[in-house]
A and B are shown apart, each in its own frame.
Chain A
Amino acid sequence: MKRLSYILSVLVALSMLLAACGSPAPAAVTEAPATDAPAADATDAPAADAPAAELEGTLNVWAFTNEIRTMAIAFEGRHPKVDVVYTMIPMTNGEYQTKVKAAAGTADSPDVVALEAAFVKEWVESDLLADLNDLLPLTEELKTFPSVVEVGSYDGVTKGFSYQATPGAFFYRRSIAKECLGTDDPAEVQAMVADLDKFVETAAKIKACGTGDYFTVGTPGEMLNPFLANREQPWIVDGELVIDPMVEEYVKFAKLMRDNGYESQATQWSEGWFAGMNDTLKDANGTPKKVFSYFLPTWGLPYVLIPNSKSDTTDTGGDWAMINGPMAYQWGGTWVGVLDGSPNSELAKEFVKFVALDEENLTNWATGVYTNEYLKAIDPETPDDQAQAGGDFVSSQVVVEKITSSFDNSDLAKFLGGQNSYAAFAQAAPSVNGALLTGSDDAIQRALNDPLASYLNGDITEAEMYAQWLDAVRNEFPDLVIPEPPVK
């Protein structure tokens, strides 16, 4: 009898183990209606009145960048009873995208997710993000750039908001311009690169000048965005892949830049690409090389170019200038959305509001108020490199207008030899077209990288490149109609 009870207790324990393994699914089912109810209530009460009650709770935020963590700490500063649990997963090779996809709808699902321009549409078009339409009145108040809202919307429902607008620019080295082109004046240099033909002529001059150690651009990758932004149609129209003529133009242009030695052959986001920003690029013989220009958007200035402009021995700060370059474009940007069915949907919505639609936060963000001291006063465990440099271009035209003049004599302006980048971006931002973004951009564009690199190296023909690319796209989009390659 004693033995029997022992066996029984073991069996009970085992069955509990089995039950525990099976539990996530039923739990998710019962949770869903419970969380729908408060969300429905919220639409009745105007969201703007919400902060009156003190917020509390724990919020899970996932992002691919530590920028939003700075805002998360500031959010905790405003709402001391809120605890934001911040998870950062790098975007390298699509790791972040995959993790969020796999976690959505499970018990491990975050409440708030950061979404990059390359894949934000995929989420906005899915059923996984919550409807945030009741925050829309705030975008009118703050005069958020319409393209930013457009990207976060699908079928009349807005599901994501961004704190940034991301028009692109063309940054060049004043010293090289003076030496090779005879002037470093932004207006005159702009005239020399105003279209692609002139750009190529200028590239030839830069190559011929001095000892022939100057490259016009660093990588083929950064030239892609200007071309894509000037397409007539997005990648996918009515379930069919569209290879816009601008894509073929891009391939031809990249090949021309490579074959003529106008491009450094570095890989974007690699050591060689960054080395060009601070003049430490050396070829295999040890000969120093210089890169004339970089295609970078708003965020590229404070987060990519300036941090990489210094090495132990060199500093190119002050030697840069900013112009529009051959084509208007936009590049990147981070949107935030709330996952549908989040048990903290109210708090999550409040967080999105704070990050993207709060005048004070946006002003603080852009003007560099969030220093390490500021953040550590809120959360003593803040890492030392958490502070974000000012100068990021925000999505609210109200804020942009108020703070533009504050950059006139800032460090940012000194870096650009006196130019106010904020004013220049403010001019470029309204022309950004949000309609070209689709949910599949990321995968389609990443599939092009490898065949294009092989083609630029001369390992495969142009026809083989298109065939490989289209095969790769077909394998990632089982239902997509793939056209015949443009070159056979």
Chain B
Amino acid sequence: MSLSKFKRNYYGYLFIAPFVIGFLIFGLYPVYNTLALSFTDTTLMTKNANFVGLKNFERLFADNVFINAVKNTWIIWILNFIPQVGIAMLLSIWFTNTRLKIKGVGVWRALFFLPNLLVPASVAALFFAFFSFYGPVNQFMVRYGLLPEAMHYLQSVPVTRGLVVFIQWWMWFGQTVIIVMAGMTSIPVTLYEAAMVDGATSSQMFRRITLPLLKPILIYVFVTSLVGGMQMFDIPFLLTDGRGSPNASIQTNNILMYMKFASSKGHIGAASSVGVLIFIMTSLCALGIFYFLRDRDNDAPKRSWFSKKSTER
């Protein structure tokens, strides 16, 4: 290796150093530390901690609480993700459709994105006030005969879960619209023009052109939403009592982790074990998504999706 080549490589390392160092300190070290803590009984209120092996994990599976939290997280995320992507696709198709020529696309997009700018705490407080027993929703429903008598919305499992799903959808679909639209506008118009010349219908163009070319974007949306969904915390935490009431039906993974962290002595060891399991679960699912949605048509037989991805970029 010549000196000049070495220097060139050296500069490359220097340029990526800030990211690598930042990642090591703020990315890798916390993960490592969480893993290390999860094998101990460390608390915030006592000075000594012991290595307890897998005991924290055994306790998670000793009763139904952890499984219930995982179940809640998946239910809420799936119920929110399907309409989120569905409606984002629909709106993006309308907005990018050259035949419809919708006016003020930028304005609509901004309006859809607005809820995302609200502070989750104030959104949760707003819904809490609306749906409280003596709140305006009950007044409206009863006075207009839609309900025979006032009900405790936030103590009903389907209503409370529904509210969390709705709020998550409402806050995040604008973001998805923007990403999906960006993906759609990046598809060359010439493809559609050629298809139209060949007499393709709208649905054919959608299935044969839009969807395949949008796949990388959809995978991105899918994975980021999954990661975000598995870490869902603020809205379900703030909407009721911070413990996922009613009936622990909106107690997500992260709420359970926080509850262990904030419990009487601050059991950070036990909380870390929840974090580790969320990490493993999310990683496996994200890898699964990449694997199942990989581009099969052009796949050379022995190429893994890793190399595939790296050549694409």
Contact = CB atoms under 8 A, between A and B. Distances in A.
A439 B157 CA distance: 32
A453 B149 CA distance: 18
A90 B53 CA distance: 36
Interface string A434-472: 000001101100110111011001011000000010011
B3 to A, nearest CB: 12
Nearest to B270: A478
A283 B141 CA distance: 12
Contact of B248 (A270, A272, A468): A468
Given A126-B46, A459-B155, A271 B263 contact: no
Chain B contact residues: over half helix, strand or loop, or mixed? Answer: loop
A476 B21 contact: no
Contact of B133 (A10, A266, A449): A266
Chain A contact residues: over half helix, strand or loop, or mixed? Answer: helix
Contacts of A442: 264
Contacts of B266: 98, 101-102
A18 interface: yes
B213 interface: no
Interface string B239-264: 01111111110000000100111111
A471 B264 contact: no
Contacts of A478: 41, 56, 59, 267, 270
A442 B263 CA distance: 9
B102 interface: no
A92 B134 CA distance: 20
A119 B215 CA distance: 52
Contacts of A104: 44-45
B143 A284 contact: yes
Contacts of B21: 14, 17-18
B150 A127 contact: no
A315 to B, nearest CB: 20
A475 B244 CA distance: 14
B152 interface: yes
Contacts of B263: 443, 475-477
A272 B139 CA distance: 13
A471 B65 contact: yes
A449 B245 contact: yes
A180 to B, nearest CB: 23
B37 to A, nearest CB: 13
Interface string B136-155: 00110111000101101001
Interface in A1-47: 7, 10, 14, 17-18, 21
B14 interface: yes
A439 B142 CA distance: 44
Contacts of B270: 478
A440 B138 CA distance: 37
A452 to B, nearest CB: 10
A10 B17 CA distance: 11
A282 B143 contact: no
A264 to B, nearest CB: 8
Contact of B241 (A93, A119, A459): A93
Contacts of A439: 264-265
A459 B247 contact: yes
B246 A454 contact: yes
A286 B246 CA distance: 27
A122 interface: yes
Contact of A122 (B10, B156, B265): B265
B19 to A, nearest CB: 12
Interface string A250-294: 000000000000000111001110010000011111100000000
A336 to B, nearest CB: 18
A443 B242 contact: no
Contacts of B56: 478
B264 A122 contact: yes
Contacts of B143: 284-286
A275 B63 contact: no
Contacts of B241: 93, 446, 449-450
A216 interface: no
B132 interface: yes
Contacts of A271: 129, 132, 134-135
B243 A446 contact: yes
A475 B152 CA distance: 27
A265 B152 contact: yes
A443 B248 contact: no
A18 B18 CA distance: 11
A474 interface: yes
A223 B261 CA distance: 29
Contact of A459 (B237, B246, B262, B265): B246
B132 A272 contact: yes
Interface in B265-285: 265-267, 270
Nearest to A127: B47
Nearest to B242: A93
A388 interface: no
A459 B159 CA distance: 13
B32 to A, nearest CB: 15
B211 interface: no
B54 interface: no
A159 to B, nearest CB: 13
Contacts of A309: none
B155 A453 contact: yes
Interface of B: 10, 14, 17, 21, 25, 41, 44-47, 56, 59, 62-66, 129, 132-135, 138-139, 141-143, 147, 149-150, 152, 155-157, 237-238, 240-248, 256, 259-267, 270
Given A272-B134, A475-B263, 14 more contacts: A10-B14, A93-B242, A126-B46, A126-B265, A267-B132, A284-B142, A284-B149, A439-B265, A459-B156, A475-B63, A476-B263, A476-B267, A478-B41, A479-B41
Closest 3 CB pairs of A and B: A93-B242, A450-B245, A272-B134
11 contacts: A92-B242, A93-B243, A119-B264, A122-B264, A123-B45, A284-B141, A449-B241, A453-B155, A454-B155, A454-B247, A459-B156
